[in-house]
């Protein structure tokens, strides 16, 4: 009578055994992890770009206010001369 170990039966029916399961699934696991990290990077990158645009906008408004105030001050001094 033929006898098979559990590993041999698993390999026969599913193509895997305990010794090669890591080898078979490691590339898939790495691909999934890489995809998740890329998505997190894209999200974080998008958030940072949005924050940078917001800061640049605030700086532009601040600069415009400063220039406007400065122009008004210079103009009023010139008119008072």
Residue 16 maps to a domain: no
- Owning domain of residue 70: 26-80
Residue 11 maps to a domain: no
Mean pLDDT over the full length of the chain = 73
**φ, ψ (nearest 5 deg) of residue 63:** -65, -40
Residue 1 maps to a domain: no
Model confidence over 36-61: pLDDT tens digits?
888 888 888 888 999 999 888 888 88
**pLDDT attached to residue 26:** 74
Model confidence over 11-45: pLDDT tens digits?
666 655 555 666 667 777 788 888 888 888 888 88
* Count of the separate structural domains present in the chain: 1
**pLDDT attached to residue 40:** 85
Residue 76 maps to a domain: yes
Residue 18 maps to a domain: no
Residue 5 maps to a domain: no
**pLDDT attached to residue 27:** 78
């Amino acid at each position: 009578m033929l006898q098979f170990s559990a590993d041999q039966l698993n390999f026969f029916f599913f193509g895997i055994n305990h010794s090669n399961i890591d080898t078979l699934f490691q590339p898939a696991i790495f691909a999934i992890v890489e995809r998740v990290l890329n998505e997190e990077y894209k999200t974080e990158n998008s958030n940072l770009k949005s924050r940078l645009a917001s800061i640049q906008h605030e700086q532009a408004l601040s600069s415009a206010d400063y220039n406007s105030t400065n122009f008004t001050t210079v103009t009023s001094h010139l008119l008072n001369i």
